[in-house]
Amino acid sequence: MFALTGKDLRNVWDQFVEDECEESFYTLYKHYYHYLSYLGLKKKMSVQRVQDSVNDVFLHLWEKKNSNRQIRNHHNYIVTVFFRKLFRKESLHLADLDFEEESHDPAIHQSVEEQHIRTVTTNTVAQLVQEHMEQLGTKQQLVIYQRFFLDLSYQEIADANQVSIHTIYNTIYKSLEKIKNNLSNEQEIFLKVAVGLLSSFLLIFS
Amino acid sequence: MDELNLQALLLDESFVNYCKRTNKEDIEKWEKWLQKNPKHQQSISELKGTILAMGYYAGEVSIQANYERLQSQIKKRSSQHRFTAISTTVWFKIAAVLVTVGTISLFLLRQQSSEKAAEIVQHAGVPGEDAALLTLKDGSVISLVDIKNGSIVALQGGVEIQKNKDGELVYSAVEKGDATTAASNTITTNKGNQYQVILPDGSKAFLNANSTLTYPLRFLKDVRSVRMRGEIYFEIAKMESGSAGKKRRVPFYVETENQKIEVLGTHFNVYAYEDEPYTTTTLLEGSVRVTSKKGNESVLLKPGQRALLNEAFRVEDVDISQEVAWINGDFVFKGEELGSLLRKISRWYNVDVECPERLDKLKFDGMVSRSQPLSTIIDMLQTTGKVKLTLNGRRLIVID
């Protein structure tokens, strides 16, 4: 579900347009949530505004379901609508932005590795971390997402959240330390086995 | 290094790039490093797995929260196109994450709405600024905000007081003076002000709003002593006295109404307002001994700990980043009680707060820059749906 390449994505899009099916809508949302967040935050927009704009795009897609058939390049369409919402300019074209396809699309780029995490460690590392993630606050999780998933720099995250770089750095450090400490001894044994598995898996694939 | 230094690893962006496999050179760099340091292989790969999984799950949570929001937006717009639930288990997980025990999360930095709110309140609720009053030994008072950066404030007893280019107040001896003079200076910040001062021994003190620090113009040779109230973050310079071979560290004492702190050279924060239930001493580096004046009880703090004093001491581990976020210009609240949060706001935005006692214990999470107007925080608190706030001139009124 996560590792969508161009062709898969096209299929999901077609399915959404044909059947107006919610499952494919959700799949598209998941994929573009990462990508659009990355683009928006790179443009130094606030987190709230980026999230609102992503939702506006999908609200638009859902409501205009009937006219979606006419869209030839769904990817460019989604990105264009997103930037229009983000900058609140209805007449904006991608050309005006001198927008270049980000070579570092986190959703595509990380898909291989992330899928390994999911498949290899479904019952171990990931699950342990997942259990403990709930102990972090909403804001802490958001910052972790921006650093460890979207690969934004500390400075970019500080700009997006409008706090100092120290606070961002401290928040990430404290969150990681907390998660690490929380993995109890018993669980750590699990983790070692799992990470062992994971690294051998990565060796095969790299 | 036997223990991995987590802090240093995280600061190095190339390490995160290695974990994420986003940069070829960084991957090679860290793989080489691991070959040279094979004993760390285990812990590094554990760390890597943790970092990847944390990023992934934090992303999932963010997606779910926003997708849920999207669903309710869609629902609102059209009742006939209602979604069916995607997967009940997923929603249970989201619910579990969102309803973190008794804590209400603030959805921060709602720019659009805060802009609107700012138009209405305009003058009241502007954030604080760097300003303070300096009382000299002769009792004369100087407003430091009126003095240009880089100029001399005063010259007293052979000690020059300057406001440096960063706006900090700096003391430096220009002639050898009589160390026994007991003349002292007092620096005071009002509500809505903060100020940094570099003391005669090179130690730094950063005063938060509504705080006072009194210190001698020249410290004695074998002991340094200051008095304070309010909140001050200290970075104490190490000092030695005596001749070679027989040197001893010169202790530094910070006295508040209820306690005395003894330090040798270290970083710590003291939170000692009259309207707070506790006097709180938080240690970042080094070591300090805190002694209560009433019971003469004393505790020794380790970095990452804080001592809370009312009747007796209570020592606990704390999240430093939250305790001293104000130094970096931010408010960071984690499970902070509304009463305590409002007292901090009242000092920084110079407002009087009215809040029914029954709401005092409500807990909030959040993170916001101190340079934001008060309206941003009001907006954040209201988004939780737990409280309503109105700003009426300089009065902030809280209702259910």
B119 and B133 fall within a common domain = no
pLDDT of residue A99: 61
Query: In chain A, what are the domain boundaries?
Result: 6-107, 110-205
pLDDT of residue B93: 42
Let me know if residue B148 belongs to a domain.
yes
Both structure tokens of A179 = 């998660």
Structural class in CATH, domain A110-205: mainly alpha
Closest residue on chain A to B27 (Cα): A206
B92 and B112 fall within a common domain = no
Q: Please answer yes or no on whether B55 and A144 come within 8 Å at the CB atom.
A: yes
B212 and B348 fall within a common domain = no
What CATH number has the domain bearing residue B265?
2.60.120.1440
Asked which of B286, B305, B322 is the last residue of a domain, the reply is B322
Closest chain B C-alpha to A42 CA, distance in angstroms: 17
Q: Is B54 on the interface with A (CB under 8 A)?
A: yes
Both structure tokens of B116 = 């609107």
Does residue A117 contact residue A125 with C-beta atoms inside 8 Å? yes
Give the DSSP per-residue string, B196-246.
EEE-TTS-EEEE-SSEEEEEESS--SS-EEEEEEEEEEEEPPP-EESSTTS
B176 and B232 fall within a common domain = yes
Query: What's the CA gap between B180 and B209, in Å, rounded?
Result: 32
pTM: 0.60
Closest chain A C-alpha to B141 CA, distance in angstroms: 33
Closest chain B C-alpha to A97 CA, distance in angstroms: 23
What CATH number has the domain bearing residue B392?
3.55.50.30
Both structure tokens of B163 = 């406001």
B174 and B256 fall within a common domain = yes
Let me know if residue B1 belongs to a domain.
no
Let me know if residue B296 belongs to a domain.
yes
Closest chain A C-alpha to B26 CA, distance in angstroms: 14
Asked which of B82, B97, B112 is the last residue of a domain, the reply is B97
B294 and B187 fall within a common domain = yes
Average pLDDT per consecutive 10 residues, chain A (206 residues; last block may be shorter):
62 84 88 90 89 92 82 86 86 66 50 49 65 85 91 91 90 88 63 63 52
Q: Residue A134: which of B62, B97, B334 has the nearest Cβ?
A: B97
Does residue B321 contact residue B284 with C-beta atoms inside 8 Å? no
Q: Please answer yes or no on whether A149 and B22 come within 8 Å at the CB atom.
A: no
B90 and B138 fall within a common domain = no
CB contacts, 8 Å: B78 with chain A = 63
Q: Which residues in chain B show pLDDT less than 70?
A: 1-3, 78-124, 176-182
Total CB pairs under 8 A between chain A and B: 208
B235 and B269 fall within a common domain = yes
Let me know if residue B214 belongs to a domain.
yes
Let me know if residue B57 belongs to a domain.
yes
Q: Please answer yes or no on whether B86 and A26 come within 8 Å at the CB atom.
A: yes
Closest chain B C-alpha to A168 CA, distance in angstroms: 9
- Top residue of B26, B50, B333 to mutate, by most chain A CBs within 10 Å, is B50
Q: Residue B62: which of A145, A174, A180 has the nearest Cβ?
A: A145
Q: Which domain holds residue B55?
A: 6-97
Count of domains in chain B? 3
pLDDT of residue A68: 82
